[in-house]
């Protein structure tokens, strides 16, 4: 039966991960394939896609050794490349067969970057896994379940909806923050100190979220982006509400475990088919029990407020679930992930596995300390943030549809998705084209070694008369659509000035 369910989901997209160091001898070509979607495509077809990709990488390296191929845009297909690790490549091939097939290359590449970053956070680097078990069986199993669980978030019905022009006012790989007043900020700081004291002598890092927005963190930027992404995907109240839609800028849409299951149908037979085709392969996927942290509907809120899951298995000699662990870049060590939730407030603490005495038992002591000493503070902070919360349209600005990106701080803010859907297709396509131009200019500046943060402004009049505008200055980016603006460029420019002065402290004012 194979993966017929998967290939029928979306034949217009292929995604592969391969290792250029493997399969270099005749008869061993399959060894370089680490992941391929759809998984039931014949091996000659998979090797054809990977062979073409490998050839393009090798050819472009002749002219640009340090920055090889990023995208090949053909008449019917686009090939998007990302070198996730040295000689380990991820390639997405998308067909231009539909009216909705209008996308930004960088948006698609950011999907590849995100899934790899999340994979490393949970499982470590792909190269380290391959070094640990050279046959590649464990690595393929990890990648298969992880990437397929990740792709299920893009599934709607029997179709994968990858980021296209309708997502042009969103930015993947950035954090969305909650704006709070001074009094609330002081309460949050006080809460963080109490939480750290509950950890005792154990080094502790924290992440505090309200709804799907960041309130406070002590994590490094790289770790923050990964853990913010995972929290919004699986841990916030919206994520825990099975089948519930979300206004989050990050989440792709409503997804249930049934969707994930359809992508993973007959998964074992697919992996077994791959292994049985290779003389050096392990017996099959059943040899590997892997953790699947992106599974849907696997987290729940316990009676004490702590989030629990059986994804990481159970403790030896016990029926109690093992605590989740992640790999933190900041400390280069494995950390326990301990999540607590009260109404709209989600608090996640991270403790080094090596510093928690008696493992799970020591973690239970820390949890009890939090319940006894931090609960009043948690309740007070949640109540204060709830009173000041303006709802899902809190950051809507009447007359504007916008996206703000601060690259230095790795944060973004945008018009609520529900408001963006009121824009016409002409406006969205024009904005998508404008952002593609900006991406291209930034890529050229990076390759040339020139100033990539120079001030820049682009204004485009869309077919429907809307003004589509971008302004870049000192690492900050503003993208804006004005559909009801006057016909003159001066009017549109003045509208941007007003927005900049009122909501951006004049950062984009000329």
Rounded to whole angstroms, how far apart are CA atoms 466 and 492? 9
Could you check whether the bond before residue 38 is cis, i.e. omega within 30 degrees of 0? yes
Rounded to whole angstroms, how far apart are CA atoms 128 and 120? 10
Average pLDDT over residues 459-480: 94
Confidence of residue 259 (pLDDT cuts 50, 70, 90): low
Rounded to whole angstroms, how far apart are CA atoms 373 and 457? 52
Q: Say yes or no to pLDDT of 279 above 50.
A: no
Nearest CA among 406, 323, 311 for reference residue 365: 323
Mean pLDDT of the chain: 87
Q: So what's the pLDDT on residue 439?
A: 93
Confidence of residue 5 (pLDDT cuts 50, 70, 90): very low
Place of tokens 């493992």: 359
Categorise residue 164: left if φ over 0, alpha if ψ from -120 to 50, beta otherwise.
Answer: beta
Q: Hey, which residues does 473 pair with through a beta bridge?
A: 476
Helix axes 182-198, 360-373, angle to 10 degrees: 140
Best CATH choice for the domain 180-246+297-388 from the list 1.10.357, 3.30.450, 3.30.70, 2.20.25: 3.30.450
Confidence of residue 127 (pLDDT cuts 50, 70, 90): very high
Q: Domain extents for the chain?
A: 13-163, 180-246+297-388, 401-504
The pTM of the full predicted model, rounded to 2 decimals, is 0.91
Q: Which CATH architecture has domain 13-163?
A: 2-Layer Sandwich (3.30)
The continuous run of DSSP H or E covering 19 comes out as strand 13-19
pLDDT tens per residue across span 303-342: 999 999 999 988 766 678 899 999 999 999 999 999 999 9
Place of tokens 């503070």: 377
Rounded to whole angstroms, how far apart are CA atoms 209 and 116? 24
Residue 5 near residue 265 (C-beta atoms within 8 A): yes
- Of 4-8, 93-97, 490-494, the least confident: 4-8
Of residues 256 and 417, which shows the higher confidence score? 417
DSSP type of residue 433: H
Residue 169 near residue 482 (C-beta atoms within 8 A): no
Confidence of residue 4 (pLDDT cuts 50, 70, 90): very low
Residues of the chain with pLDDT > 90, as a percent, come to: 69
Collect all residues with Cβ–Cβ distance below 8 Å to 42 and sequence separation of at least 6: none
Q: So what's the pLDDT on residue 386?
A: 97
Q: So what's the pLDDT on residue 278?
A: 46
Q: State both tokens at 207.
A: 């992440």
Q: Hey, which residues does 401 pair with through a beta bridge?
A: 481
List b or e across 416-437, with b for residues whose CB sees 16 or more CB atoms inside 10 angstroms: bbebbeebeeebbbbbbbbbbe
Could you give the angle at the alpha carbon of 251 between the alpha carbons of 255 and 261, nearest 5°? 25
């Amino acid at each position: 039966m194979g993966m017929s369910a998967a290939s029928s989901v979306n034949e217009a997209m292929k995604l592969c991960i391969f290792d250029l160091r493997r399969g270099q001898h005749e008869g061993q070509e399959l060894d370089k394939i680490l992941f391929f979607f759809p998984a039931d495509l014949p091996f000659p077809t998979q090797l054809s896609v990977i062979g073409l990709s490998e050839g393009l990488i090798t050819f472009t390296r002749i002219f640009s050794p340090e920055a090889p191929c990023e995208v090949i845009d053909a008449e019917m297909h686009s090939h998007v490349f990302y070198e996730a690790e040295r000689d380990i490549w991820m390639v997405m091939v998308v067909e231009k067969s539909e009216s909705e097939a209008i996308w930004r290359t960088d948006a698609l590449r950011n999907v590849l970057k995100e899934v790899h970053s999340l994979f490393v956070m949970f499982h470590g680097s792909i190269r380290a896994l391959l070094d640990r078990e050279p046959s590649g069986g464990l690595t393929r199993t990890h990648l298969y379940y992880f990437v397929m669980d990740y792709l299920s978030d893009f599934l709607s019905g029997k179709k994968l909806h990858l980021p296209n022009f309708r997502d042009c006012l969103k930015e993947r790989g950035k954090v969305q923050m909650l704006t709070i007043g001074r009094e609330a900020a002081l309460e949050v700081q006080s809460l963080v100190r109490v939480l750290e004291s509950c950890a005792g002598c154990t080094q502790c890092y924290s992440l505090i979220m309200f709804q799907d927005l960041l309130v406070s963190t002590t994590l490094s930027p790289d770790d923050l982006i990964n853990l913010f992404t995972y929290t919004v995907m699986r841990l916030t109240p919206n994520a825990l509400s099975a089948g519930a839609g979300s206004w989050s800028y990050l989440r792709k849409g409503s997804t249930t475990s049934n969707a994930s299951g359809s992508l993973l149908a007959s998964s074992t037979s697919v992996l077994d088919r791959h292994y049985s085709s290779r003389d050096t392969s392990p017996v099959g996927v059943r040899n590997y029990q892997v953790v699947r942290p992106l599974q849907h509907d696997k987290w729940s809120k316990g009676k004490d407020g702590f989030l629990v899951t059986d994804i990481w298995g159970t403790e030896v000699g016990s029926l109690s679930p093992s605590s989740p662990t992640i790999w933190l870049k900041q400390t280069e060590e494995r950390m326990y992930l301990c999540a607590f939730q009260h109404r709209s407030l989600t608090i996640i603490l991270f403790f080094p596995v090596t510093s928690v005495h008696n493992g799970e038992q020591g973690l239970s002591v820390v949890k009890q300390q939090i319940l006894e000493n931090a609960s009043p503070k948690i309740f007070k902070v949640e109540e204060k943030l709830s009173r000041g919360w303006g709802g899902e349209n809190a950051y809507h600005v009447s007359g504007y549809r916008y996206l703000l990106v601060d690259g230095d701080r790795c944060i973004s803010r945008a018009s609520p998705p529900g408001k963006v859907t009121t824009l016409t297709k002409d406006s969205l396509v024009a904005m998508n084209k404008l952002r593609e131009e900006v991406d291209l200019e930034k890529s050229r500046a990076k390759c040339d070694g020139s100033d990539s943060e120079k001030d820049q402004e682009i204004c485009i009049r869309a077919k429907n008369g809307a003004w589509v505008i971008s302004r870049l200055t000192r690492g900050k980016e503003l993208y804006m659509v004005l559909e009801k603006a006057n016909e003159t460029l001066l009017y549109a420019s003045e509208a941007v000035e007003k927005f900049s002065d009122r909501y951006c402290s004049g950062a984009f004012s000329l």
